[in-house]
Structures are given as structure tokens and as C-alpha cells.
Structure 1
């Protein structure tokens, strides 16, 4: 239904703008498309035949309908954000005079604090030293992920040319095609050197750093699966996935250094507010230590 809507051409033009001019990641483009097509479908039920017919009242009705359909607060926020971005773009194009979605607020959702592993759990996970190609590859990926705090997409996107082992750095392309060089630490460098010796045995098809057993670039799904398997094998109490190692890197760096700006740069966050969530994790740790240690901290136990 939404594909035949007169609202669709503007959305397609906007998505091309996001791809070509903004150079947003394919996943972000996909999320924008999904949310905007849902908006078009809902707008059609309200007999909205042109974007100029969408006023504040209809935007609120659209949001209310989305909630009644079971959309969670975080997903509704994403939907309204996509709609605001589209309408802002239409204003800049001269198609609209004002953006009716700007004054529509989204419901607050509970703060989602990322879960991390403590240092002992990370050590437990990484405590294997098997001398076969896939085990060496997996240990290297774990070391690099935790050593540099990479995103999963950044890890699987690494090529051999992205390494500077003499300086102990890797070069990655993050969100929005932004490039950054990152230190990985001596342990990760050592394992990278070890893996590069084994890598040739898998007969690489291209310059991908981490290969499948068939010689092609390892997929993100395969990395997730292998990390989870190693978590079980190493008897780590919680589920191990790539993002948890990135969270652990950020939390441990912040706890040790207290330098939020440096952690922001290392993680590749565009906004400091994204990084600030780790200050809440750090406070939780401090609060638990205080409650356990301070003689006057027996709150609620008198």
C-alpha cells in the first residue's frame, strides 16, 4: 500500500540524499526506510495524500496509533526522529514551510545501561591458547575487539592494510564513513602477528583480515556465533557478544582514566552524550562499593 502512495517519491528522494550526501551506513538507511514506510502506511489511513497535509494534530495521531499498535517507546522515538528528519529536509527543499513534527515529543523510555564484563571475566574469556587456525583467529578477534573497543562492523571490515603493528595501531572506518586510528595494545599486536602467520593457510580471497575457513571475509553473524561459543566454552557466567566487549572496553577505560573525552574519541562517538552513559555504569560500581564498605551506608536496614 505504501509503495503506491503519493508520499513515496519524496521519501525515495530523501533516502538517496541520506545515501549520497550524508553517506549514512546501510543499516541506518534501512532503519529510516522501514520507519518512513510505516509512517506512509499510517498516513494513508488518515487520508493524507501530500506531505503538506500533515499537521501537528495528525503527527500526534500517528504517534498515538503507533503506540496502540504496540510500538515500544524507543522504536516510536526512532520513527518520529526519521519523520522529523524527512520533514526538515522537505523544508530545506522548499516543499514545506514548517516541520509539524518538531513540537511532538516522544514518551520517555527507561535508561538502558549496557552490560559489561568485569576484568576477571574478560581474563577468563581470553585464557585459551590453542594452536589451530580458527582458535588463533578467534583469540585475535577477541583481543582486538576488547583492546580497541571496536564496533562489530569495524572488526569484520578490517583489511590487512589497516594494520600498523610497528606503532600498535589499527585504522577503522566507523559510522558515517568516519575514519580513526586506534591503539590496540601489545597483547593484541602479538596475537595479530600470530594470526597473520596462520592466515595464509586459509588461502585468502582478498585483503580481509579475518577469514572464514573457506578463505572469504568472516561475516558479522559468524563472529557473534563464535564469541558466544567461546563464552560457553570458557564458562563465562553471562552471554558473550561483540558489543559486550566494546562496552567492557569503555567501562574499564573510564574507570581507570576518568577521561570521558578520550573514551569518546576511542569509541568514535559523534556526541559526548552517547559516551556519558558509561559514567552511570561507573557510578553504579562506586555506589555498590560505598554501600558495602561504609559503616553509615546501611540504607533501608535500620
Structure 2
């Protein structure tokens, strides 16, 4: 897997970004000192997402290798391709489709965002924090999408009695 592809997957999974937010990331949005990522979300609203150390290391490796040797190394955007100084959403979808084919599964970028939010909630993060990290305008949005108790969760809960 290339650093570029790994960077895409790690950002989607560990920062919970929408594809449009991912391809809009600029190098100046990264702050390795404070370990934060500045994200421009829907409606031009800004939010900060903490960088998990593994994500920071993956981004640094990408910047020092593939990105540095790209024909568009001077682009302000984080993700570039061999033909453009800014990766687009279609390219992200193609990368994930190709990876999915290799793994014999279908991979949708929004599933990574869903996994990000679901894992946070399952690990005990409160709904308000998850809503802020996801960039949801309303906590109701987060609740309606991510508070869907599965059969296994219900069985596990009853097992606690």
C-alpha cells in the first residue's frame, strides 16, 4: 500500500472526515506541535480534530516520501496526485474501490466516518464530544445515526443482569 493510500484511509478512520473535507485539507491545517487538524466542514464551519499519534506519523511519512517527490510538491493541498495539485473525491473513491477489490470487499469512504463515531461512542466518549468531532450541527444528527443499538448490544446488556 502506498503512503498516499494509507494516509487517505488513516485520515478517514482516525479523524472521521467526510471525503469533501479530506480533499480540502491543506498542509497549513496540520499542526504537529499541538497534534491538531483544522477541518473546514459543511457550511464553511471550522473544527479541530486531535491527531492520533499513528495518524500524525502516517501523514509525516507521506509528506517526507510520496508528497515530497510529487510533481505537485509545492501544492498547498495535503493530498495530491500525479496529475493534479489537489486530489478530488472521485480519486478517493477509486482508491478505495481498488483496495476493496484487492480485499474482496466493498469499501465506502463514509463507512470509515461511521466507524470513527461508533468506536468513540463504544469506548465511552459522550455524544456531545462525538458530535463536535464529527462536525454535526446538531447533537440529534449524531444520535440518529450512531445510537442504533444492535441485537448483540442488547443481549450483552441483558447478560449484565
TM-score higher than 0.5? yes
Q: Distance in 2 between matches of 1:223 and 1:175?
A: 19
- Counterparts of residues 262-301 of structure 1 (less than 5 Å): 262-277=129-144, 278-280=146-148, 283-284=149-150, 285-289=152-156, 294=159
Q: Distance in 1 between matches of 2:24 and 2:3?
A: 18
Q: Distance in 1 between matches of 2:83 and 2:68?
A: 12
Q: Distance in 2 between matches of 1:270 and 1:225?
A: 29
Structure 2 counterpart of 1:174, from 13, 27, 41: 41
Instruction: Report the alpha carbon displacement of residue 258 of structure 1 after superposing the two structures with TM.
Output: 4.3
Q: Which residue of 2 aligns with 1:223?
A: 92
Q: Distance in 1 between matches of 2:85 and 2:101?
A: 26
Contact 1:139/1:191 (<8 A) preserved: yes
Instruction: Report the alpha carbon displacement of residue 141 of structure 1 after superposing the two structures with TM.
Output: 1.1
Structure 2 counterpart of 1:187, from 54, 61, 68: 54
Instruction: Report the alpha carbon displacement of residue 234 of structure 1 after superposing the two structures with TM.
Output: 3.1
Aligned length: 156
Against the structure 1 CA distance between its residues 169 and 234, is the aligned structure 2 distance closer, same or farther, given a 3 Å change threshold?
A: farther
Q: TM-score, normalised by structure 2?
A: 0.89
Instruction: Report the alpha carbon displacement of residue 157 of structure 1 after superposing the two structures with TM.
Output: 0.1
Contact 2:93/2:109 (<8 A) preserved: yes
Q: Distance in 2 between matches of 1:186 and 1:233?
A: 27
Q: Distance in 2 between matches of 1:210 and 1:196?
A: 9
- Establish whether residue 214 from structure 1 lines up as the match of residue 83 from structure 2: yes
Q: How big is the alpha-carbon RMSD for the aligned residues of Structure 1 and Structure 2?
A: 1.8
Unaligned runs of 5+ in 1: 1-129, 295-302
- Establish whether residue 244 from structure 1 lines up as the match of residue 130 from structure 2: no
SS in 1 for 2:28: helix
Contact 2:11/2:55 (<8 A) preserved: yes
Instruction: Report the alpha carbon displacement of residue 232 of structure 1 after superposing the two structures with TM.
Output: 2.5
Contact 1:202/1:215 (<8 A) preserved: no
Runs of 4+, deviation exceeding 3 Å:
288-291
Q: Any idea what the Cα deviations from partners look like across 1:177-203, whole Å, max 9, x if unmatched? A: 100111120111001000001202112
Q: TM-score, normalised by structure 1?
A: 0.49
Q: Which residue of 2 aligns with 1:232?
A: 101
